[in-house]
Amino acid sequence: MKVDRDAFVACYGGVYEHSPWVAERAWDGGIAEAGDLAPVFRRIVDRTGHEAQLALLRAHPDLAGRLAVGGLTAESAAEQAGAGLDQCTEAEFAEFSALNARYVEKFGFPFIVAVRGLDRAAILEAFRKRVEGTPEEEFRTALAQVHRIAALRISEKNVHPEVPRTPVERDDLLRLIGTALARNGASAACATAVAEMTLVAEGDGAHSHGVFRIPGYIAAMKAGAIDGHAAPRFISRQGAVLRYDAMRCAAPYAYDVTLPELARLTQELGVGVLSLANVAHFQAMWPETEWLAEQGLVGFACTANLPYLAPAGGTRPVFGTNPLAFAVPGNPPVAIDMASSTMARGDIMLAAREGRSVADGVGLGPDGLPTSDPAEILKGAQLPFGGHKGSAIALMVELLAGLCGGPYSDVAEDTSKVGLPVGAVFVMALSPEALGGEGALAEAQAFVERLRKVPGVRLPGARRHINRRKPGPLMVENKILAEVRALAGLD
């Protein structure tokens, strides 16, 4: 399936602010590979001449200027909000306004900076310095910043241009997913929990853990791997450890029941551990740790799954992809979510579905030889990130989850026939105050803010939070949307 010109421009026409002509010229010039877009787009702009470049600069918004009156594109609104420019104090807003006026009067175009990885203080400091520059220097700097913004926007495009998608309002998508689940064996509580978690992942731009997962959930319920009407059963509490049997219910519903209990225990004791067995974990892991962070707690979670990952030096899958997540309170929380594999299995599945190759080093084919064909990797073995280091982390996760009730990945069976593991999850919560006293969390958050200001640094989870702030409907792949609509009885 080939993308047409209109779809290409619709996808990439906004990476240069209000300037779809860049994408149009790229298409007309025969662009074929999305991975080559940034340098191609840059060459087009660099060859247009001074007047066209000046018009491009003038198409950009004032920083912290028009946000209040809705004059920003969705991309600029999300980027400015991600840098906190929608939360300026009165004094900061006044300084931005004064600098904007002085800058435009001097140079004839607005101040432009790629705000990713910067906060308000760093942006203001750059503004103060650059307003003192010469017109020639500032024209070159502003154009370079425009190119950087465009390159970042291209890299943020999770939507592959060859995959047609449909805009769906969030509330409509939530109802659709809930209806599909309830119609196919999920209780109201289970359907609501899974639908809400799915919407979070889809809105965060994690398509491999979003709506794409719903047909799998339903297939697993029909196969009996998930019990859509089960509820977690409390087993015991020993010290700071809570044990639950999830009774093969879906993880989002299991967490609705168990995480509040874990949070209460941790607030009482300073530390708490949840040992959750027989749970169908088919989702991202950051939601559970982010939820704990929103309660003011440090969260850590990990789970093992089916044998997909070959240990370092091996060619046969033994470990699961064995993801782990970690979150610390903040605004927004710092949230790390990573598989032990080089690439998440869901992303490999999406690449196979869309007919794309993957990078070298992701996995092996059934013959044990390296391949970039995702379909062959799904039949063979994934590889750990960082060689023996990723393999060691996969082993750690395997043992933690195994101690919570397993099964260990090398003997786990895919009873769902759709790759949905029913196993165990280890979750730990910690009170920052219990760890380091009243000021410990504030010091940690101050460190994070210093790190956030380092040029070129993007904190884990930053992309998700930028996506989360974007207004408007979500773009859902047509084929997946049709599947879910059919499962909901609407087609």
pLDDT in tens, 221-250: 998 889 999 999 999 999 999 999 999 999
pLDDT in tens, 149-163: 888 888 766 445 457
Coil, helix or strand at residue 363: strand
DSSP string, 56-100: HHHTSPPTTTGGGGT-S-HHHHHHHHHTTGGG--HHHHHHHHHHH
- Averaged confidence pLDDT in the chain: 87
At CA 162, angle to CA 157 and CA 167, rounded to 5?
A: 65
Work out the pLDDT band at 34, boundaries 50, 70, 90.
Answer: very low
Residues in the chain: 491
Q: Output DSSP code: residue 213.
A: G
Name the packing angle between helices 90-107 and 135-156 (round to 10°): 120
Closest Cα to residue 305, out of 264, 344, 266, 353? 344
pTM: 0.70
On the CB side of 258, how many CA atoms lie within 13 Å of its CA?
Answer: 35
Of residues 393 and 351, the one with the higher pLDDT is: 393
Which ranges in 13-71 belong to alpha helices (H)? Answer: 21-28, 37-46, 50-58
How far, in Å, are 10, 138, 157 from residue 161 at the CA level?
9, 34, 9
- Give residue 75's pLDDT: 63
**Per-residue b or e along 147-184, where b marks 16 or more CB atoms closer than 10 Å to that residue's CB:** bbbbbbbbebeebbbebebeebeeeebbebbbbbbbeb
Asked if the model's pLDDT at residue 395 lies above 70, the reply is yes
- Give residue 67's pLDDT: 44
DSSP H/E element including 8: helix 5-12
Of residues 391 and 76, the one with the higher pLDDT is: 391
Asked if the model's pLDDT at residue 119 lies above 90, the reply is no
Least confident piece of the model among 224-238, 364-378, 428-442: 364-378
pLDDT in tens, 467-488: 888 888 998 989 999 999 999 9
User: Which 3-state string (H, E, C) describes 243-312?
Assistant: EEECCCCEHHHHHHHHHHHHHHHHHHHCEEEEEEEEEECCCCCHHHHHHHHHCCCEEEEEECCCCCECCC
Q: Just list the catalytic residues.
A: 208-209, 347
Asked if the model's pLDDT at residue 68 lies above 50, the reply is no
What domains, with CATH codes, occur in the chain? 5-156 (1.10.3330.10), 226-341+384-458 (3.30.1370.60)
Q: What is the mean pLDDT of residues 54-60?
A: 91
Asked if the model's pLDDT at residue 130 lies above 70, the reply is yes
